[in-house]
Amino acid sequence: MEEKGEVMRRSKLLAVVLALTTAVFILSVSVAVPVLLRPFYYAHIGVLGLEEKTGLSREQMVQAYDEVMDFCTGRAEEFSAGILPWSPSGRAHFVDVRGLFLFDLRTALVCGLILLGWMLLGRKSPVRPHRFLGHGFALWGSVGLWVAIMVIGGLAALDFERAFLLFHAAAFPGKYNWYFDPHTDGIIRILPVDFFQNCAVLILLLIALQCAGCIWLDLRQRQK
């Protein structure tokens, strides 16, 4: 039932924009969690037996990881990796990683502000988003994202290492400095593929939970 006697207009374009904003927000926030949640990496040191495999102490690995992540998240301007060696090409790769991480964090912030602004001010707008098949934009943004993630995640699950290589080729086109030599870029010794695979699982889980929440809220609102 329309408010104010059918005075309000329904915009399909607005619905699509808000649905895309919702999807991008969920994705960028989910990616940001393993980037910012450093205890997630710390827990892998013991689980993966990295002290035995690398000959480094837990403290040395934590220091190296923290320094690299401080650089990648913009908390430090100079690159360092604790006691681990690094090469100019290795540093150049982390400069690229820093750009991606900061882009993701800024995207999450911008999309979050847009959605928050709509939640606070949208009720006063004479234009409302169209409800496709009677559902709101958050549901459609969540469904679209989840379908895309399921397809990509399903393909990655078949061969994660190949998917890992394809991701780097797509994220860093024309560059091969992410092929690290452990003798010249020691950070790769404490970042095994298993850790990145678990990061992907965490991201998928966070996306699933957020999408499920949006869908549940939409269905609950529709019932009311």
Q: Which helix (DSSP H) or strand (DSSP E) does residue 171 occupy? A: helix 160-171
Based on the structure, what is the number of domains in the chain? 1
pLDDT band at 7 (very low <50, low <70, confident <90, very high): low
pLDDT for position 205: 94
Q: Give the model confidence (pLDDT) of 198-211 as tens digits.
A: 999 999 999 999 99
- Confirm whether 90 is domain-assigned: yes
pLDDT for position 157: 77
pLDDT for position 6: 45
pLDDT for position 224: 65
- Confirm whether 4 is domain-assigned: no
Identify the domain containing residue 87 by its residue range: 10-122+135-223
- Confirm whether 25 is domain-assigned: yes
Across 97-101, 129-133, 169-173, 176-180, which has the greatest mean pLDDT? 97-101
Residues 6+ apart with CB under 8 A from 163: 155, 156
Q: Tell me the C-alpha distance between 34 and 204, whole Å.
A: 11
- Confirm whether 5 is domain-assigned: no
Dihedrals phi, psi of 3, to nearest 5 degrees: -85, 155
- Confirm whether 3 is domain-assigned: no
- Confirm whether 171 is domain-assigned: yes
- Confirm whether 130 is domain-assigned: no
Question: How many other C-beta atoms can be found within 10 angstroms of the C-beta atom of residue 121?
Answer: 9
Q: Give the model confidence (pLDDT) of 97-144 as tens digits.
A: 999 999 999 999 999 999 999 999 887 888 899 999 989 999 999 999
Residues 6+ apart with CB under 8 A from 137: 15, 16, 18, 19, 22, 129
Q: Please say if the pLDDT value at position 154 is more than 90.
A: no
- Confirm whether 1 is domain-assigned: no
pLDDT for position 1: 41
The pTM for the full model equals 0.89
